[in-house]
C-alpha cells in the first residue's frame, strides 16, 4: 500500500492545555470541600476527548463523567484503571456487562436497571457500582418519588436475600453484587440564581439522600457505605452560582472548558479562560462591485464596491447555518461580517473595499481568544455556546497548544 502524508486540515480547533489545567484548578478551589468531576461527554464538549482527558488526568484529576457507555469504555481505554468513570445514559436493552467488567460507575434511574446490574454482576463475577439518580424536578431521567420507594424496597429485599444465603468466608470485595456508591440529580435552572426551583430541587434531593442513607445504614455496609456516599447534584451553573457547593462533588462540564453557562456571563470574571480557538484561513480574495450577490439564495447584495474573502468552514464543520448574515470572524485583529448563507464547506466574509491588508493565507479566527466568542456565535444562531462547541464535526482537526496563544 502507498502511504500519504495527510495535509493540514482547513479548519482547526486549537485546544490550550494550559487553559484546561487552570480552569480545573480554579473550579476545584471554588468547589472545595466538594470535589471536581470532569465531564468529558460529547467528545469533551467538542474539544476532543482524546486530547482533553489525558491532559486533565496528567494534571491529577481522577474523576470523570460521560453520558453513554461507549463513551465510558473509550475513556477507560484512554486513562487506564486509575480513573473513576461515571456514565448514566443507556437503554433497556443496552449490554451492561462490559461496563461492569471495566469498573464503570453507572447511574440508575429505574428499578429495572438495578435488576439488570445485579444480573450483569452475577454473570461476570464482578461488583457493579451504582449511583441512584433522582428526578428532583428536571423531568428527564431519574427515579420519581414512587420510583425511589420501589428502588429502596429493592435494596432492602436484596440485602435480605444476601443475608439468607451469606457465606461468611466471602468478603464484600469478592461478592458479585450491586453496591450503591453515590446518589445524583441535576439542577434545571441553576443558571438563574434568583429562581426558587433550585432550592426546591435541593430539598427533594436532601430528602432522597436521607432515605437512602437510612437503608444503607440498616444494611451495615453490605449495600454500600453511607458515610462514603458520593452525593452530587451541581452542574456548571450550580458550581458557579451556589455556595457552598451542595453535596460531596460537582459534575462540571462547560465551565471546565472556560465557557460560561450563565447568560451574559463573562468567563474572565469567573476566573476562566476559553480553551478552544477555532481557526481557518483566507483561501480566495476578490474585489466585488456594488450589486453583486453572495452565496446560495443571494440573500446578501453588496450595497457598494467591496472585497470578499472566501474562508474555509461551513455547516459541514459544525458552524450553524442559522448564523448566516449575522456572524463575524476576526482577520488581522479586525472583526469582519459573514455575508450570505454559510455553505457546507465555506463562507464569505466582507472585508471592505478599504481593507488592502488582508491577503490569501491569512489566519481567520472563527471563535475563541482573539476573535468572537462561542457565546456570540450562539446568539447569532439563536442557540447557546454549548451547542456551538459540541457540534464541531469530525472534519475539524483538533490539536493541543501550549502557552495560551491568543
Catalytic residue among 41, 45, 133, 386: 41
DSSP for 306-327, please give it. EEEEEEE--GGGT--GGGTTT-
* DSSP secondary structure letter of residue 368: S
Q: Is 286 a catalytic residue?
A: no
- Copy the grid coordinates of residue 74: 473509550
Cα maximum dimension of the chain: 88
For residue 400, report the phi and psi dihedrals to the nearest 5 degrees.
Answer: -80, 145
Q: Is 133 a catalytic residue?
A: no
Residues 6+ apart with CB under 8 A from 31: 234, 239, 245, 249, 250, 252
Instruction: With CA atoms as reference, report the closest residue to 279 among 22, 45, 15.
Output: 15
Element (H, E) at 145: helix 145-165
Catalytic residue among 37, 90, 286, 296: 296
Q: For helices 197-218 and 145-165, what crossing angle results, to 10°?
A: 10
Instruction: With CA atoms as reference, report the closest residue to 311 among 369, 371, 257.
Output: 371
CA dihedral defined by 120, 110, 41, 223, rounded to 10 degrees? Answer: -60
The catalytic residues are 41, 296
Amino acid at each position: 500500500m502507498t502511504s500519504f502524508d495527510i495535509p493540514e486540515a482547513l479548519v482547526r480547533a486549537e485546544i490550550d492545555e494550559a487553559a484546561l489545567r487552570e480552569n480545573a484548578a480554579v473550579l476545584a478551589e471554588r468547589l472545595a470541600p466538594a470535589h471536581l468531576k470532569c465531564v468529558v461527554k460529547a467528545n469533551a464538549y467538542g474539544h476532543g476527548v482524546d486530547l482533553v482527558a489525558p491532559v486533565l488526568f496528567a494534571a491529577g484529576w481522577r474523576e470523570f463523567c460521560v453520558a453513554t457507555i461507549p463513551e465510558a469504555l473509550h475513556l477507560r481505554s484512554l486513562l487506564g484503571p486509575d480513573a473513576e468513570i461515571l456514565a448514566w445514559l443507556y437503554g433497556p436493552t443496552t449490554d451492561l456487562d462490559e461496563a461492569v467488567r471495566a469498573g464503570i460507575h453507572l447511574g440508575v434511574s429505574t428499578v429495572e436497571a438495578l435488576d439488570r446490574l445485579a444480573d450483569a454482576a452475577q454473570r461476570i463475577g464482578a461488583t457493579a457500582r451504582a449511583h441512584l439518580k433522582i428526578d428532583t424536578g428536571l423531568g428527564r431521567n431519574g427515579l420519581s418519588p414512587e420510583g425511589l420507594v420501589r428502588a429502596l424496597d429493592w435494596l432492602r429485599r436484596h440485602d435480605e436475600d444476601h443475608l439468607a444465603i451469606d457465606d461468611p468466608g466471602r468478603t464484600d470485595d469478592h461478592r458479585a453484587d450491586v453496591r450503591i456508591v453515590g446518589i445524583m440529580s441535576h439542577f434545571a435552572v441553576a443558571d438563574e440564581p434568583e429562581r426558587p426551583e433550585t432550592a426546591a430541587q435541593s430539598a427533594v434531593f436532601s430528602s432522597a439522600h436521607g432515605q437512602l442513607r437510612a437503608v444503607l445504614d440498616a444494611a451495615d455496609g453490605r449495600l454500600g457505605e453511607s458515610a462514603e456516599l458520593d452525593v452530587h447534584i451541581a452542574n456548571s451553573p450550580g458550581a458557579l452560582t451556589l455556595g457552598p457547593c451542595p453535596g460531596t462533588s460537582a459534575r462540571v462540564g462547560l465551565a471546565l472548558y472556560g465557557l460560561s453557562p450563565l447568560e451574559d456571563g463573562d468567563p474572565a470574571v469567573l476566573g476562566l479562560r476559553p480553551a478552544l480557538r477555532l481557526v481557518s484561513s483566507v483561501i480566495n480574495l476578490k474585489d466585488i462591485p456594488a450589486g453583486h450577490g453572495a452565496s446560495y439564495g443571494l440573500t446578501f447584495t453588496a450595497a457598494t464596491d467591496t472585497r470578499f474573502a472566501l474562508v474555509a468552514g461551513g455547516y459541514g464543520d459544525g458552524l450553524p447555518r442559522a448564523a448566516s448574515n449575522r456572524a463575524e470572524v476576526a482577520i488581522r485583529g479586525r472583526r469582519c461580517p459573514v455575508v450570505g448563507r454559510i455553505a457546507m464547506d465555506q463562507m464569505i466574509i466582507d472585508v471592505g473595499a478599504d481593507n488592502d491588508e488582508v491577503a490569501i493565507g491569512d489566519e481567520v479566527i472563527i471563535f475563541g481568544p482573539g476573535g468572537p466568542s462561542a457565546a456570540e456565535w450562539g446568539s447569532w444562531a439563536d442557540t447557546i455556546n454549548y451547542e456551538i462547541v459540541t457540534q464541531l464535526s469530525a472534519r475539524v482537526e483538533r490539536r493541543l497548544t501550549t502557552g495560551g496563544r491568543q
